[in-house]
A and B are shown apart, each in its own frame.
Chain A
Amino acid sequence: MEWETVIGLEVHVQLKTKSKIFSGAAVDFGQEPNTNACAIDLALPGTLPVLNKEAVSMAVQFGLAIDAEISRRSVFERKNYFYPDLPKGYQTTQLDEPIVGRADILLELEDGSQKGTEKMVRLHHAHLEEDAGKSLHEDFAGKSGIDLNRAGTALIEIVSEPDMRSAAEAVAFLKKIHSIVTYLGVSDGEMSQGSMRCDANVSVRPKGQEEYGTRAEIKNINSFRFVERAIGVEVERQIDLISDGGTVVQETRLYDSDKNETRPMRSKEVANDYRYFPCPDLLPVELDESYIQSLKDALPELPDAKKKRFCTDYGLSNYDASLLTQERPTADYFEAVESKCEDAKLAANWVIGELSAQLNKDDLKITDSPISPDTLGLLIVRVKDGTISGKQAKQLFELLWTEGGEVDQTIESKGLKQVSDSGAIGSFVDQVIAENPQQVENFRAAPEEKRKKMFGFFVGQVMKLSQGQANPAEVNKILKEKL
């Protein structure tokens, strides 16, 4: 039996507004509990919501960035349920009239079996809503602690159609959303801090069947890796269940990353009737054309456009451009390096290669890199002008990374200069030839195909003699002449 996976995603993105969506309290991660919860967030008697304008413009910017329909009129509704982290006993959200409508999102798949392919995923809509607070169950001896700092934070909920057919596609969709919201600066997209969370609706069906299978919802997955794994184990679970004659129950599940499995949520699974109705404390949001146009005019260059530009203006490959434009800070870093050294290919290689490897190793973001774009740019200039060899450049990079300092000073102080003087190299070559007469004879006698390998021996000898400082290009040239 061949199975097909069907996935729909709901992505909650916290907006980087200074204050909350309906109150003036600050939005800030990691503060002491309940220090950022004002009277409105606490739902004190008599308090009322006031809509944060910036949240609206951020939502519209997102819609414009993905070329979605922007609703000229949208309405806030009350979604009613009781839980201690929801102070009002209802969440203010949008239902029938969300601020952002349909869109088509094109994904380019980078890894796995689908690498290099494209996939179109439809967006159902995106809407504004408020976040709930946090419930903490440990540390309270049989009770739960409620921290309302997060209650009222502005969110956009981005809802896809169930168009994805693999975990890889789901991750690609998520990465695309992440890329767009961080590019726009409307969110910091820190999944580990909860500023971006993903709910995955997963179901399976026999290949060829039109009807969808029953879906399970995996809630609040907070990393790309976990999304991939969670979907994987859930699909397996469902297939096993059905193959054994069971049926998939429509329920909410959580992904346990330690055990690498999904399990049903602890809370009682009573089908909730949320009794949605338009919130009478808020007016409908009405946007005019000039407002939308001004936001459109102010949009920054978006990932897709930047990638295209990197290909055409810098002559980079699609793959390299893709990697460099995934995150805006990386793209900005690259461009700064390129403008210093004026060599896009080398700049790309260094950023994608050495720099990324070091950043990963030390678990740093590119914005925290100890080597600035200017410094890296100069390093590349010194390779290009022959001051240092490629090998020496790598050493220099490591020194600058761990010890700091400037390019030229470090080259001087550590003696990393390349020897390019043909006279000096000439004498090294002469010496090697003189000391290895047998190999020279063998080389001159050998046919073309065998020469390449033998040539390497001589190069190695010259490099050894010069303590690695001979300019490899020059060595090759002079060796060829003399041999």
Chain B
Amino acid sequence: MFNKTIREILDDLAKGEYSSREITGALLDRIKSLDAGLNSFITLTEDQALANAEAADSARSKGEAGLLCGVPIAHKDIFCTQGIRSSCGSKMLDNFISPYDAYLVKQMKDAGVVCLGKTNMDEFAMGSSNETSYYGPVKNPWDTGRVPGGSSGGSAAAVAARFVPGATATDTGGSIRQPASLCGVTGLKPTYGRVSRYGMIAFASSLDQAGPIARTAEDCALLLEAMAGFDPMDSTCIDRDVPNYSASLTDDISGLRIGLPKQYFNGQTNAQVGKLVDEALKELESAGAKLIEVDLPHAELAVPTYYVVAPAECSTNLSRYDGVRYGYRCEDPVDLEDLYCRSRSEAFGDEVKRRILVGTYVLSAGFYDAYYRQAQKIRRLIQEDFVSAFEKVDLVASPAALSTAFKFGEKSEDPVEMYQEDLYTIPANLAGLPAMSMPCGLIDGLPIGMQLVGKHFEEGRMLNAAHQYQLRTDWHQRAPAQYGGES
């Protein structure tokens, strides 16, 4: 049962093969017995999940089944869930029981999902390895001595370990795509503005976007249909119809033009990674796609640009965590300054503090023009690189990560080295473009993914290409040794 995809589960539920209550119960048991080894969940909401599963079964029997009625999923702990702790992976919000549901959470409830719990993540979504969580690191199910990637490490690991068939996650610089790649699952970051950010705890406002992680492009399409849509409570959300992503999955991709940036395919990539990505591209070619070289001249500026803009925005987004109204407050503060200083020092981890300090610096008088304003200008150039490229191609391809999963502690000593992990994924966030990663091979038993970047609001075309690839290959069906097998 736990190997089933969302598509299969929906079919099974419709046929009455089993009930939502049954599969929910089975997955909860699985999580309880196996997650100690992975630490992918922060909070398990067992009673609510079972109750909701029963309600879903009841709705289905009355013919009132929503798009995802009865499907068990998990939410990254960055989404506010009413009545349930929403910690964002931080001591600062360990005691925060959200009084409201994020818009996305509400939409998915309306679609009928059954939420099993909140998944672990890098603190305040800052990280590429899920090593910065207050709740301890998440382990990669493919090799528990290695990181699952971040910041959505919990969601990616939970899906890879077959704890849930799908999970929500967020991506600011690659936090869906990179862990998906490292865990051998499929993850998608939509166009900026496609999904509401209301109730999604903010890291970098102009870059954050919520998206699905699942084992197939087909499942991502289903989840995205439920997540996408206009929300008047988010001023940056776009009012635009949500296409039927599932319907276009099987479109013919002959003539689809896939761009290969020469900056990424210049032989400087890890050789094994490069080889697997090339093979994946050949698969797409055999399905009718055309491979065309493109030029992204400002590619190497993406990481430094991001690490000016994102910290700047996060430094102000995190100012509200001050121990005054909710969240962590230090004991016996002596005065206001003490309250602020100790609450924040005691409750924020090192990476969060590092980024707040960097962000404060680049916005400060005398440095704003040289750093923040300059970075925003370069961001425009990076976006224009894609605009030019998309005149010649429909999608842009690259590896989704530098390499396979690294060992714990390998990069956490050198923040800048860790930041380089996001090399391929950051440009799509800076340009607001949709992007996804899908498994395209194993290197020494560890998964690696390929990334596709699409034009604004062309998630359908991207999913279509991914699905066609997944029809011809089976990397997405491989399971980590201790977590695969028959249901």
Contact = CB atoms under 8 A, between A and B. Distances in A.
A84 B336 contact: yes
Nearest to B237: A48
B340 interface: yes
Interface residues of B, number: 41
Interface of B: 79-80, 86, 88, 93, 96, 98-100, 102, 197-202, 204-206, 232-236, 312-313, 316, 319-320, 322, 324-326, 336, 340, 360, 363-365, 368, 372
A146 B324 contact: yes
A80 B86 contact: no
Contacts of A42: 325-326
Contacts of A281: 202, 205, 235-236
Contacts of B197: 46, 48
A46 B319 contact: no
Secondary structure at the B interface, as helix, strand, loop or mixed, is loop
Interface stretch (A87-95, A107-115, A207-215, A231-239): A87-95
Nearest to A42: B325
A82 B102 contact: no
A281 B202 CA distance: 10
Interface stretch (A97-105, A272-280, A359-367, A425-433): A272-280
Contact of B364 (A39, A49, A275, A283): A275
Contact of B316 (A47, A51, A89): A89
**What are the nearest 6 A-B pairs in CB distance?**
A89-B319, A280-B205, A275-B363, A280-B206, A43-B320, A46-B199
Interface size class of A (residues with CB under 8 A): 20 to 34
Contacts of B316: 78, 80, 88-90, 275, 277
Given A275-B368, A277-B363, A51 B320 contact: no
Contact of B93 (A45, A89, A146): A45
B377 to A, nearest CB: 13
A50 B198 CA distance: 11
B98 A45 contact: yes
Interface in A112-153: 146
Given A84-B324, A87-B320, A89-B316, A44 B363 contact: no
A146 B339 CA distance: 15
B320 A48 contact: no
A282 interface: yes
A55 to B, nearest CB: 14
Contacts of A90: 316, 319
Given A47-B198, A50-B235, A275-B360, 20 more contacts: A42-B325, A43-B320, A45-B86, A45-B88, A45-B96, A46-B102, A46-B202, A47-B199, A48-B197, A48-B198, A48-B235, A49-B235, A50-B234, A80-B316, A80-B319, A89-B320, A90-B316, A277-B312, A280-B204, A281-B236
A416 B484 CA distance: 106
A275 B365 contact: yes
Interface centre among B80, B200, B204, B322 (most CB of A within 10 A): B322
A56 to B, nearest CB: 13
Contacts of B201: 45-46
Contacts of A45: 80, 86, 88, 93, 96, 98, 201-202, 320
29 contacts: A39-B99, A42-B326, A43-B320, A45-B98, A45-B201, A45-B320, A46-B86, A48-B197, A48-B202, A48-B234, A78-B316, A80-B319, A82-B319, A82-B340, A84-B322, A87-B325, A88-B320, A89-B316, A273-B364, A273-B365, A275-B364, A276-B363, A277-B363, A277-B372, A280-B205, A281-B235, A281-B236, A283-B235, A283-B236
Contacts of B205: 280-281
Nearest to B80: A46
Contacts of B98: 44-46
Contact of B198 (A46, A78, A84): A46
Contacts of A283: 235-236
Interface centre among B197, B202, B235 (most CB of A within 10 A): B235
A276 B360 CA distance: 11
A262 B118 CA distance: 55
Interface centre among B199, B201, B324 (most CB of A within 10 A): B324
Contacts of A273: 364-365
Nearest to B359: A275
Contacts of B206: 280
Interface in A339-365: none
Contacts of A48: 197-198, 202, 233-236
Interface centre among A44, A45, A87, A89 (most CB of B within 10 A): A45
Contacts of B232: 50
Interface centre among B98, B99, B320 (most CB of A within 10 A): B320
Contacts of B322: 82, 84, 89
Interface centre among B197, B205, B319 (most CB of A within 10 A): B319
A275 B312 CA distance: 10
Contacts of A87: 320, 324-325
A51 B319 CA distance: 21
A282 B86 CA distance: 25
Contacts of B365: 273, 275
Nearest to B90: A45
Contacts of B233: 48, 50
Contacts of A280: 204-206, 236, 313
